[in-house]
Amino acid sequence: MYRAALAAVAVITASPAAANDFAPAMSAYLEAEISSWAHSQVLIDAISAQNARTGAYDQPRIDALDTAWREEVGTSETPTVTPVMENAAADFLRNRVDISAGQITEVFIMDARGLNVAASALTSDMWQGDEAKFTKTFSAGPDAVHFSEVELDDSTQRYQGQISLTITDPESGAPIGAMTVGVDAEALM
């Protein structure tokens, strides 16, 4: 009986509904701090332009880009990383991080294939297409939002939660990409 009760508690605490105690705070942060700029034209333009280039990419080409990205991290030659880090959308995202006064740890946007388009800071990989931040947003439709668990992030080395959402074309309402915003755990308390 005792083991059965413990097993039931383990299942309940591991269930998605109970798994993220920060979800209400993340939802409030999204509404108060992110929603007003999440669909800014500079982001829409950058995602749309990259979709025009990457829309026909197959998985081997995506994997090759992701491998190149990982190999370039920490080196002086960064032909894959540089275009993502040095563009108007990346400047806009860095400005959003600065304005947040430490509450936002990182922001990056992805195209319709899950590839990074622009980032405020270096990410550990280029392809997000196999991760929940993309599969539970872009693939789920125009109003989709995903809240991660709060954990130590490899890229920022800070405890953060990630708020991810689908980015849509303002004219058609169709999903064109996704955005992930890392929020410092202390800002969620």
Distances in Å between the alpha carbon of 107 and those of 60, 116, 134, 184?
26, 11, 14, 12
Residue 22 has, within 13 A of its CA and on its CB side, a CA count of 22
| Domain that residue 59 falls in | 21-188
Q: Identify whether 13 is part of a domain.
A: no
Nearest to 114 by CA among 172, 36, 179, 168: 179
Q: Identify whether 11 is part of a domain.
A: no
Largest CA distance in the chain: 61
Q: What parts of the chain have a pLDDT lower than 50?
A: 1-19
CATH, residue 157: 3.30.450.20
Predicted confidence (pLDDT) per residue in 72-110, tens digit: 999 999 999 999 999 999 999 999 999 999 999 999 999
Q: Identify whether 118 is part of a domain.
A: yes
Domain count, the chain: 1
Nearest to 73 by CA among 122, 34, 31: 122
Q: Identify whether 112 is part of a domain.
A: yes
Nearest to 84 by CA among 49, 130, 60: 49
> Which pTM was predicted?
0.87
Q: What is the pLDDT of residue 157?
A: 79
Q: What is the pLDDT of residue 4?
A: 27
Q: Identify whether 159 is part of a domain.
A: yes
Q: What is the pLDDT of residue 42?
A: 98
Q: Identify whether 9 is part of a domain.
A: no
Are the C-beta atoms of 185 and 161 separated by less than 8 Å?
Answer: yes
Q: Identify whether 10 is part of a domain.
A: no
Q: Identify whether 183 is part of a domain.
A: yes
Q: What is the pLDDT of residue 8?
A: 27
